[in-house]
Amino acid sequence: MINKTIRSNHIAFVSSDTEEARDSLTVLVDRYGMCPPEDADVIVALGGDGLMLQTLHRFMNTGTPIYGMNRGSVGFLMNEYREDDLLDRLSAADVTTIHPLLMEAVDQSGHRHNARAVNEVSLLRQTYQAAKLRISIDGRVRLEELVCDGCLVSTPAGSTAYNLSAHGPILPIFAPMLALTPISAFRPRRWRGALLPNRAVVQIEVLEAAKRPVSAAADHTEIRNIASVTVREDTRSECLIMFDAEHGWDERILTEMFRY
């Protein structure tokens, strides 16, 4: 719980560019007021999961929690949209701290790129050629050659997103773990990935990089033609996300686990 009473004119609103989200923004600002984000007790994001990820990145390490209301499609990271009782909902909401992943990528020219991911770091082949990857954990090679469309490293927060679509495991939000999941593995075909402690450092090297180019993405930031990627949890960075107390993140994840 945020442990403070949220007042009108102490909320900042952001919205996606859809007509539905913009209309909701107008209604809520007229009703509850609006202040600059740097002065806000809470940021209310109106849109879908994509907007929520963008907002979490934008306000990372500011100490300001983000409360989403679904004006998009899936909305797994969002709360139900309602115009009434917003101040009471915000005051009673549960706050979860998320530590993002830090991706350090080296491209084929030797340039280094850093980016953070709330959901996952994913590697994907760029052409019709399957990717060949070598995977090391904490400096020790664990998979000499993975032939695949790609692979990803997911946080618990992202385990119900791309990771789940790739048949990776769903992780409880407070589990001190990461999911390492292959995407359409060809060889070894039966390898389904691994569960790793969140302190693990994952290094992925691209084999035959010139012939089989691979891109790496940390949420919305993509680096193309990579040679290697190192992924670790960034314990020095954090995002704060809010959910209604009656339908918190634990409940959402349990619901996904029993969905069929």
77 is in an annotated binding site: no
Kindly tell me the burial class for residue 44, based on how many C-beta atoms sit within 10 Å of its own C-beta (0-12, 13-18, 19 or more). buried
* Separation CA 22–CA 16 (nearest Å): 7
Please report the beta strands in 112-185, taking only residues with DSSP state E, as ranges in sequence order: 112-117, 120-125, 131-137, 140-148, 150-154, 177-183
Query: Which pLDDT score, from 0 to 100, does residue 82 have?
Result: 93
Same fold? 11-98+238-257, 101-233: no
The dihedral sign for the CA sequence 162, 215, 104, 151: positive
pLDDT means over runs of 10, the chain (260 residues): 63 95 95 92 95 96 96 86 93 93 98 98 97 98 98 95 94 93 95 96 97 97 98 97 82 77
Domain ranges of the chain: 11-98+238-257, 101-233
Cα–Cα distance, 128 to 140 (Å, whole number):
30
Active site residue 49: yes
Q: Does domain 11-98+238-257 have CATH number 3.40.630.10?
A: no
* Residue 86 assigned to a binding site: no
Architecture in CATH of 101-233: Sandwich (2.60)
Q: Is 162 labeled as ligand-binding?
A: yes
Angle formed at CA 71 by CA 65 and CA 73, multiple of 5 degrees: 110
Q: Give the pTM.
A: 0.89
Catalytic residue (choose from 39, 49, 244, 250): 49
32 is in an annotated binding site: no
